[in-house]
């Protein structure tokens, strides 16, 4: 009979789950990774930021990334509602290390690379497995109940630690009703891919572009991908974007493009690859990131608006921090919420740095150009956040002058 007892069970093999599973397995623990989907599916969240380098290095994947066909990304650039571009924010301006370059990825390929890497490090992976529930003995997680694709009946798997990496399905936190939505960030996105769209040359070829529409009620991402593809998506409040939902998502998307002249120009000779997709981008966070013998990582822990491409970084870092806490839990024989969630303060502080800059971005009065013209010394702090160097208190210093210039941004001091 197959082994049904493990040291750690990870549910969900996205970036956070694969990171946790791989790093724990590297320490010699027996890890089971369960995933519902048979193959990695299409996802957005295609733009990495430099802070992901250090997790990729721990995973042993830097050489693999360098050899990939993923476009290299050196910067991010913002377009105002008038169509005027900012100067590019080059990550190497703060740190000329090779970690200041990152990649634009096709998620189906990138996620599969993470899965294969986990397998290489000894993680047992079972795809096509639907986890129905986490099993508890009082408040202590003891295992999961799952149905494998090869079984007619469910089967119980036991472990010392259960890691919830189920993304926005949030297996544990939804069951416990401990997710809290951010009322200021109830957005939606409509997106697709294009072929033959305009690309800059040289070092700017793989840059992420963030383009405001003329009324600043929405914005577009523009992410160069392999195979002459570009990912394009529009984001706005769900009330604004969907006010004409009877016309259909494609019409809404096309109408938003008409409100963004620089994007129209970049897509002039492009061909749309597939029908637009729609998703809710509601930002939220769990009030509790760990319990006795369980811990949350990735989107199961929280989700933040995609404007600064923070998703993969936050997935990686939560997975990495959780893995280190799990290793210490075994050393200390302490699987309490306090031990497994010991990374909470550090992680939430970094997430909040992104959140505050997101709030500023959505303020119609805010402008990076105007802010940095008045406070040029803050450019390093802005690049630090855009790079993902957010897990230190120094980056929080930019919000004091930002609030001085924009007094209505009260949330920046929260």
pLDDT digits (tens, 9 = 90+) for 121-130: 999 999 999 9
What pLDDT is attached to residue 408? 78
Structure tokens at 328: 């210490």
Q: Within 10 Å of residue 310's Cβ, how many Cβ atoms?
A: 28
Closest by Cα among 280, 313, 307 to 79: 307
Structure tokens at 365: 């009065």
Averaged over 187-202, what is the pLDDT? 96
pLDDT digits (tens, 9 = 90+) for 78-106: 999 999 999 999 999 988 899 999 999 99
What pLDDT is attached to residue 1? 41
Residues 345 and 349: their CA atoms lie apart, in Å, by 6
Percent of the chain with pLDDT over 70: 98
CB distance 50 to 388 below 8 Å? yes
Residues 23 and 321: their CA atoms lie apart, in Å, by 10
Closest by Cα among 270, 242, 233 to 45: 233
- Reported in sequence order, the residue ranges of 12-139 that DSSP labels E, i.e. its strands, are 31-34, 72-73, 75-79, 89-90, 102-103, 124-126, 130-137
Reply yes or no on whether the pLDDT at 63 is more than 60.
yes
Largest CA distance in the chain: 68
Reply yes or no on whether the pLDDT at 4 is more than 70.
yes
Structure tokens at 145: 């109940």
Residue 68 DSSP SS3: coil
Q: Indicate if 72-101+182-282 has the same CATH topology as 5-63+106-178+287-342.
A: no
Cross-strand bridge partners of residue 235: 189, 219
CB distance 259 to 266 below 8 Å? no
Q: Is 5-63+106-178+287-342 a domain of CATH 3.50.50.60?
A: yes
CB-side exposure of 329: number of CA atoms within 13 Å? 28
Overall CATH class of domain 72-101+182-282: alpha beta
Q: Which of 319-328, 334-343, 405-414 has the lowest mean pLDDT?
A: 405-414
pLDDT digits (tens, 9 = 90+) for 301-325: 999 999 999 999 999 999 999 999 9
What pLDDT is attached to residue 218? 96
pTM of the model: 0.95
What pLDDT is attached to residue 3? 63
Q: How confident is the model at residue 413 (pLDDT cuts 50, 70, 90)?
A: low
Question: What is the full DSSP assignment across 246-264?
Answer: GG-HHHHHHHHHTT-HHHH
* Backbone dihedral angles phi then psi of residue 295, each to the nearest 5 degrees: -150, 150
Distances in whole angstroms, Cα of residue 306 to Cα of each of 26, 254, 312, 331: 31, 21, 10, 37
Cross-strand bridge partners of residue 154: none
Contacts of 347 (CB under 8 A, 6+ apart): 289, 301, 317, 318, 321, 391
Question: What are the extents of the domains in the chain?
Answer: 5-63+106-178+287-342, 72-101+182-282, 365-413
What pLDDT is attached to residue 51? 97
Residues 239 and 242: their CA atoms lie apart, in Å, by 6
Averaged over 201-210, what is the pLDDT? 96
Averaged over 380-403, what is the pLDDT? 92
What pLDDT is attached to residue 96? 85
CB-side exposure of 92: number of CA atoms within 13 Å? 10
Structure tokens at 338: 């306090």
CB distance 243 to 255 below 8 Å? no
Please state, rounded to an integer, the average pLDDT across all residues of the chain: 94
């Amino acid at each position: 009979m197959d082994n049904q007892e493990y040291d750690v069970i990870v549910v969900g093999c996205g970036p956070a789950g694969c990171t946790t599973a791989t790093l724990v397995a590297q320490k010699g623990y027996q890890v089971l990774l369960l995933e519902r989907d048979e193959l990695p599916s299409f996802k957005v969240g295609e733009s990495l930021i430099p802070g992901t380098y250090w997790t990729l290095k721990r995973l042993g994947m830097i050489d693999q990334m360098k050899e990939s066909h993923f476009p290299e990304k050196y910067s991010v650039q913002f377009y105002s509602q008038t169509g005027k571009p900012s100067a590019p924010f080059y990550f190497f301006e703060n740190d000329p290390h090779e970690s200041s370059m990152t990649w634009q990825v096709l998620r189906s390929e990138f996620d599969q690379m993470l899965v294969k890497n986990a397998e290489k490090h000894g993680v047992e992976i079972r795809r096509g497995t639907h986890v129905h529930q986490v099993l508890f003995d009082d408040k202590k997680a003891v295992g999961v109940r799952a149905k494998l694709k090869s079984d007619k009946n469910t089967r119980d798997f036991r472990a010392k630690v259960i890691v919830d990496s189920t993304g926005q399905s949030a297996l544990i936190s939804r069951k416990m009703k401990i997710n809290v939505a951010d009322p200021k960030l109830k957005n939606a996105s409509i997106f697709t891919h294009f072929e033959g769209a305009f690309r800059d040359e040289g070092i700017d070829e793989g840059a992420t572009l963030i383009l405001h529409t003329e009324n600043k009620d929405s914005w577009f991402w523009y992410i160069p991908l392999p195979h002459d593809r570009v990912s394009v998506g529009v984001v706005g409040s769900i009330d604004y974007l969907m006010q004409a939902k009877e016309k259909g998502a494609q019409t809404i998307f096309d109408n938003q493009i008409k409100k963004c002249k620089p994007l129209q120009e970049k897509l002039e000779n492009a061909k749309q690859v597939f029908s637009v997709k729609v998703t809710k981008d509601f930002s939220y966070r769990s009030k509790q990131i760990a319990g006795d013998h369980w811990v949350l990582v990735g989107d199961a822990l929280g989700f933040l608006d995609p404007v600064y491409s923070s998703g993969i970084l936050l997935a990686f870092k939560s997975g990495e921090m959780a893995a280190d806490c799990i290793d210490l839990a075994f050393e200390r024989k302490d699987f309490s919420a306090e031990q497994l969630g010991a990374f909470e303060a550090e992680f939430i502080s970094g997430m909040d740095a992104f959140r505050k800059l997101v709030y500023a971005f959505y303020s119609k009065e805010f402008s990076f150009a105007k802010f940095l013209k008045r406070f040029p010394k803050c450019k390093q702090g802005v690049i630090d956040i855009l790079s993902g160097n957010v897990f230190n208190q120094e980056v929080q210093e930019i919000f004091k002058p930002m609030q001085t210039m924009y007094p209505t941004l009260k949330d920046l001091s929260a």
